[in-house]
Amino acid sequence: MPQVLVLGVGNILCEDDGVGPRVVQNLARQVQEEGLTFVDGGTGGLDLLAVLEECTHLVVVDAIDAGAAPGTIFRLGLAELGGRSTRLSFHQVGVMELLAARRLLGDPPETVVLAVQVERLGWGMNLSEAVAARLPALERAVLAEARQMLAGGDRERPDRP
């Protein structure tokens, strides 16, 4: 059976950068399904390698600065991430470095990143209105992605869920 990890990364003290942890905290309170695990990775960086050991599938939830309208949701596979000039992570050791390190260990999980375009990254624990308004849509997209991975099926891959 697939083991799906939903990993929210970001700093909850930096406004919109905290969207990943918020999403996994919300979903963890609402959803308990066999084979599905939610982890608030915060700004753990390479310390999160141990968390990735047992999963066969990975959904990363993060903030992004792609120059799009605030609140825009992106669905990115590893191929798209490798060629993007946008900054995926605002953390010292970002998601790309974590995934690269995991690949070096062999047998990396099938990975999808769901990211939301930030509006503000100052000090504060509140999300901007634009990002907060998209939380329900982002949570639905994350859960749909994780359940599809659990079912072992393929799904169309739109740029924006």
Share of the chain above pLDDT 70, in %: 76
Helix then strand then coil, % of the chain, to nearest 5: 40, 25, 35
How large is the average pLDDT for residues 134-140? 97
- Listed in order, strand segments (DSSP E) in the chain are 4-9, 36-42, 57-64, 73-77, 110-117
Q: Supply the pLDDT for residue 146.
A: 95
Q: What is the pLDDT of residues 69-126, one digit of tens each?
A: 999 999 988 766 654 444 455 544 466 666 766 676 777 788 899 999 999 988 999 9
- Rounded CA-CA distance 156/9 in Å is 25
**CATH class of the 4-151 domain in this structure:** alpha beta
Q: Supply the pLDDT for residue 74.
A: 94
How large is the average pLDDT for residues 22-46? 89
Q: Is residue 76 classed as helix, strand or coil in its secondary structure?
A: strand
Question: Where residue 160 falls among pLDDT bands split at 50, 70, 90?
Answer: very low
Cβ atoms 62, 99 nearer than 8 A = no
Per-domain boundaries in the chain = 4-151
39-56 as b/e: b if 16+ CB within 10 A? bbbbbbbeebeebbeebb
Residue 159 has pLDDT above 60, yes or no: no
Q: Supply the pLDDT for residue 95.
A: 66
Residue 50 has pLDDT above 60, yes or no: yes
Residue 154 has pLDDT above 60, yes or no: no
Cβ atoms 85, 126 nearer than 8 A = no
Higher pLDDT, 41 or 129: 129
Angle between helix 129-151 and 19-30 (nearest 10): 50
Question: Where residue 44 falls among pLDDT bands split at 50, 70, 90?
Answer: low
